[in-house]
């Protein structure tokens, strides 16, 4: 009893008689076996509890990070809505008078080239402002049943004859049996065009671009998943974490505003879906867009 009390629960009393002492020994051994089993279950339950606590803590941290990100986007939206129009007006004046000044200087002159740079940069600022307005503006949408494959085909037809796609092989693996999704077709097309153009930029206009559609189940709920895969240079793990931050871009200066994915992320979230990214540096990148089925 002293050894069991000290924690040696695997200790057994070796008495094998048929008298009262034997009965006591067998009862004692059964008790220590039950105690050992109960202790093991308690330890296992403690480990399970630790895992559950760790899992819930991770979920809370993820929710906090999403909340902080949403607050940042909301702050940016309020800022954009407040100043975009004020900035756009003088930019329009700069571009207009820049074009008027161009007429005063001959082609090839240094003055003309300098003015062209001014116009180019002013137009770039206007593009950024337009992106901010699109990001900040709470536009009304009309969601209804739409065919995801039709939107993809229409989006690809809009770009496949552009110079950037001449040396890109486009591979389509579309599931024709997919049910419709509930969405605003124009907004979803905006997201898809952004994905397609980003892929072309990542491949420098040369490589293979694959688009797949499929049905997936997530947490018991059915979704349509669209996968955009390029054979470009890939994205580092560090940069993947920043992809959906406003103004972050890996494109050369002057080629991207860093707002396309932010706007796309907001549109997909508003449709009850999500965007996931998978990439290996030097091997390419895949974007996965999931949208819920239409429930009429």
- What gap in Å lies between CA 294 and CA 144, rounded to an integer? 8
Q: Is the pLDDT of residue 110 over 80?
A: yes
Q: What are the beta bridge partners of residue 213?
A: 226
Tokens, residue 141 = 């949408």
Q: Which domain holds residue 11?
A: 1-138
Structurally, how many domains does the chain consist of?
2
User: Is pTM beyond 0.95 here?
Assistant: no
- What gap in Å lies between CA 70 and CA 266, rounded to an integer? 10
Q: Indicate the residue among 138, 162, 184 that finishes a domain.
A: 138
Q: How confident is the model at residue 137 (pLDDT cuts 50, 70, 90)?
A: low
CB 294 within 8 A of CB 180: yes
Across 218-232, 249-263, 268-282, least confident range: 249-263
Q: Indicate the residue among 77, 108, 138 that finishes a domain.
A: 138
Tokens, residue 224 = 């349509």
The confidence score (pLDDT) of residue 196 equals 92
Long-range contacts of 98-105 (CB under 8 A, 24+ apart): 98/122
Residue 229 shares a structural domain with residue 130: no
Q: Count other Cβ atoms within 10 Å, centred on residue 37.
A: 11
Give the model confidence (pLDDT) of 178-213 as tens digits. Answer: 988 888 888 888 889 889 988 988 898 889 999 999
Residue 156 shares a structural domain with residue 270: yes
CB 197 within 8 A of CB 209: no
Residue 115 shares a structural domain with residue 232: no
CATH number, domain of 217, equals: 3.30.565.10
Q: Indicate the residue among 138, 166, 187 that finishes a domain.
A: 138
Q: Count other Cβ atoms within 10 Å, centred on residue 292.
A: 16
- What gap in Å lies between CA 242 and CA 261, rounded to an integer? 10
The confidence score (pLDDT) of residue 237 equals 84
Residue 185 shares a structural domain with residue 70: no
Tokens, residue 258 = 């860093």
- What gap in Å lies between CA 144 and CA 185, rounded to an integer? 8
Residue 218 shares a structural domain with residue 88: no
- What gap in Å lies between CA 232 and CA 229, rounded to an integer? 9
Q: E strand or H helix at 36, and its extent?
A: helix 20-102
CB 282 within 8 A of CB 266: no
How many whole angstroms from its chain centre is CA 178? 22
């Amino acid at each position: 009893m002293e050894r069991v009390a000290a924690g040696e629960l695997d200790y057994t009393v070796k008495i094998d008689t048929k008298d009262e002492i034997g009965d006591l020994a067998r009862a004692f051994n059964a008790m220590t076996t039950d105690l050992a089993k109960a202790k093991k279950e308690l330890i296992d339950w403690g480990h399970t509890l630790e895992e559950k606590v760790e899992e819930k803590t991770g979920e809370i941290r993820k929710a906090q990070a999403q909340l902080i990100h949403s607050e940042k986007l909301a702050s940016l939206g309020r800022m954009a809505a407040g100043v975009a129009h004020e900035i756009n007006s003088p930019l329009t004046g700069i571009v207009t008078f820049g074009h008027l000044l161009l007429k005063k200087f001959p082609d090839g002159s240094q003055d003309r080239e300098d003015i062209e740079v001014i116009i180019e940069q002013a137009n770039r600022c206007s593009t950024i402002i337009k992106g901010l307005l699109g990001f900040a503006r709470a536009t009304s949408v009309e969601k209804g049943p739409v065919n995801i494959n039709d939107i993809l085909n229409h989006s690809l037809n809009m770009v496949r004859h552009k110079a950037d796609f001449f040396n890109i092989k486009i591979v389509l693996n579309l599931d024709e049996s997919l049910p419709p999704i509930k969405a605003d077709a124009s907004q979803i097309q905006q997201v898809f065009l952004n994905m397609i153009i980003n892929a072309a930029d990542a491949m420098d206009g040369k490589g293979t671009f694959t688009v797949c559609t499929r049905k997936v189940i997530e947490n018991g709920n059915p979704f349509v998943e669209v996968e955009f895969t390029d054979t470009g240079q890939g994205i580092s793990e560090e940069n993947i974490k920043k992809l959906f931050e406003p103004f972050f871009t890996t494109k050369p200066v002057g080629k991207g505003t860093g707002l396309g994915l932010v706007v796309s992320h907001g549109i997909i979230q508003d449709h009850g879906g999500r965007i996931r990214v998978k990439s290996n540096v030097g091997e390419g990148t895949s974007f996965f867009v999931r949208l819920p089925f239409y429930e009429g």
